[in-house]
Amino acid sequence: MGRFLTSTLTFVWRSFPRQYSAGQAAKNNLSQLRKRTGIPLKNCREALVKFDNNLEEAEKWLLEQAQKEGWAKADKLQFRPMSQGLVGVLQTKAGSTMIEVNCETDFVARNEKFQDLVYRLTIACHNNLQMDASKKLLPQDAVNNLQYEDKKLSDLVALEVGTIGENMRLRRAIFFPELEGQYLNSFVHNSDKKVVINDCHLGRFGTLLSVRSTSGAEPVESMETLTKDNGVTGSWVSPLRTSRHPFTTSMRSSCKLKQPYHRNFHTSCLRNSKLTHIDTSGKAKMVDVGDKEETVRKAVACATIFVGEEAFSLVEANRTKKGDVLSVAQLAGIMAAKRTSELIPLCHNIGLSKVSVDLTLQKDSQSVYIECEVKTTGRTGVEMEAITGATVAAITVYDMCKAVNKEMVISGVRLLSKRGGKSGEYKFVPK
């Protein structure tokens, strides 16, 4: 018995260091893999187990899976509006490159992962475009087909969609070469703090300005001062065109983040110059729909509220002090849709046959995505009912979580689709 116990202890003692060191190696690899990829620990652990703790193979597999998931998410989220994002500007001896990358919310635009993506996309575009001596303006399809290492730029964006969980898009890029007799300058405007990553400037909008001297006698210092005074500070005025300054503008580009709702508003005004809720004297009026035919009307609207990590954990676990956030917000959205005519002036009182409000937790972005679908058979549409339902559901989430986080952001409120009536079918398609 004593001999058996001794041999057992000896076996345990001899095997302990090897098992301990293997466990430490696995733990170190797990930490390193998480740091390299930014992918959740659960997935990193699964990858290391799958490839017997081989760090390189695990990383390669994880990125492939994240990219596939990103493309799937990108397809699913493609109709979500993107009115936020960043412009990236990089200026070197070869020239200046500027790109625009869109996302859904300002919350994500301030995220370090998104900023790093914009930086990498700017570097990739600059490296590709500087190989051609002529200036280039690349639209969405062309710029997304550019290569970065062994991937297309569209693959890099898809990878981040899979990681961050929000709709994103590389929209366009422009390159101005540095030519003899010209002076290039750039400016990036930041809405809050200045963001610079390895000489790449990120901000809300940017300007590239290139001027040249027609006389050939002006010193570089004068050209530099001129570009800083006009193109860089944003006061683009007449001196570039007067005889006081013998310069001509050779190239100028300003890349400003597009607001889809602004573009769509002006487009609809061109199609419909007469607003239906205004009479000939300019006073508000309620539209008479008595002569219209009754048809099946349906509308779907959405909204997103970014609640932050702590509030998201409480909502997910159903542990907030005020109770079940998702259920209460769902009921609030349904009630609001039914009472839209009491909240929005000039809206008709409509008998609704269906109101559904769905709330989806999005862990990657710590947000709640809301969709409200409304249906009726009547003489006027239910777009406002759908928008009101989605908005009030988002406001209710805010109310129930404000004790934890008062900096929550509600964004992306818009109509996704409508059907029925004389105007026919509408479906939101991001530009």
> With the CA atoms of 10, 16, 17 and 22 taken in that order, what torsion angle do they form, in degrees rounded to the nearest 10?
150
Q: 180-200: string of b/e by CB count within 10 Å (b at 16+)?
A: eebbbbbbbeeeeeebebeeb
Residue with tokens 């009912």: 385
Q: If 0-12 CB within 10 Å is exposed, 13-18 middle and 19+ buried, where does residue 19 land?
A: exposed
Neighbours of 225 (CB within 10 A): 12
For residue 128, what are the contacts with CB-CB under 8 A and spacing of at least 6?
A: 146, 147
DSSP for 215-262 reads SS-S-HHHHHHHHIIIIITS---GGGGSTTS-EEEEEEEEEE---HHH
DSSP, collapsed to helix, strand or coil, labels residue 86 as strand
**In this structure, what token pair is assigned to residue 305?**
């509220």
The answer to whether 420 and 380 have CB atoms below 8 angstroms apart is no
Q: What share of the chain is helix, strand, coil (3-state, %, to 5)?
A: 40, 25, 30
Active site residue 399: yes
The answer to whether 290 and 380 have CB atoms below 8 angstroms apart is no
Catalytic residue among 116, 324, 358, 399, which?
A: 399
DSSP 74: H
DSSP, collapsed to helix, strand or coil, labels residue 78 as coil
**Alpha carbon distance 390, 50 (integer Å):** 42
Q: How far is CA 364 from CA 73, 157, 319, 417, in A?
A: 12, 15, 20, 26
Q: 280-315: string of b/e by CB count within 10 Å (b at 16+)?
A: eeeeeeeeeeeeeeebebbbbbbbbbbbbeebbebb
The residues annotated as belonging to the active site are 399
